[in-house]
Amino acid sequence: NNLKKHFPIKAGIFQKTVGHVKAVDGISLHVKKGETLGIVGESGCGKSTAGRTLIRLYEPTDGNIIFKGRDISRMSERELSRSVRKNIQMIFQDPYASMNPRKTLKSILSEPMITHNMYDRKTREEKLADLLDRVGFNPSFINRYPHEFSGGQRQRIGIARALALNPELIIADEAVSALDVSIQAQIVNLMEDLQEEFGLTYIFISHDLSIVRHISDRVGVMYLGKMMELAKKSDLYDDPLHPYTQALLSAVPVPRKKGTAKRERIVLKGELPSPANPPTGCVFHTRCPAAMDICRKQVPIFQEVKPEHYVACHLYQSN
Ligand code: SF4
Ligand code: MG
Per-residue pLDDT of 45-88, as tens digits, reads 999 999 999 999 999 999 999 999 999 999 999 999 888 999 99
pLDDT reported for residue 198: 94
Global pTM value: 0.93
Question: Which residue's CA is the nearest one to ligand 1's atom 7?
Answer: 285
Nearest residue to 302 (alpha-carbon basis) of 222, 189, 205, 190: 222
User: What's the length of the chain?
Assistant: 319
| Cβ(313) – ligand 1 distance below 6 Å | yes
Neighbour count for residue 31 (Cβ, 10 Å): 18
Q: Which residues are within 8 A (CB) of 156 and not within 5 positions of it... i.e. 6 or more apart? A: 135, 136, 137, 187, 190
Nearest residue to 158 (alpha-carbon basis) of 169, 172, 168: 172
What separation in Å is there between the alpha carbon of 143 and the centre of ligand 2?
32
What separation in Å is there between the alpha carbon of 47 and the centre of ligand 2?
6
Q: In whole angstroms, what is the distance from residue 207 CA to residue 42 CA? A: 6
Q: In whole angstroms, what is the distance from residue 62 CA to residue 6 CA? A: 9
3-state helix, strand, coil in the chain (%, to 5): 35, 20, 45
| ipTM above threshold 0.90 | yes
Q: In whole angstroms, what is the distance from residue 80 CA to residue 153 CA? A: 30
- Taken in order of first residue, the domains within the chain and their CATH numbers are 3-312 (3.40.50.300)
Is the pLDDT assigned to residue 159 strictly greater than 70?
Answer: yes
Amino acid letter for position 28: S
pLDDT digits over 259-271, tens only? 666 667 888 888 8
Nearest residue to 158 (alpha-carbon basis) of 56, 103, 89: 89
| Cβ(282) – ligand 1 distance below 6 Å | yes
Among 224, 288, 303, which is best to mutate for testing ligand 1, by the most ligand atoms less than 8 A from CB? 288
| Cβ(108) – ligand 1 distance below 6 Å | no
Nearest bound ligand to the CA of residue 311: 1
CA 118 and chain centroid, separation: 27
Is the pLDDT assigned to residue 13 strictly greater than 80?
Answer: yes
Nearest residue to 217 (alpha-carbon basis) of 248, 196, 187: 196
Nearest residue to 274 (alpha-carbon basis) of 283, 265, 262: 283
- Least confident window among 105-109, 124-128, 256-260, 288-292: 256-260
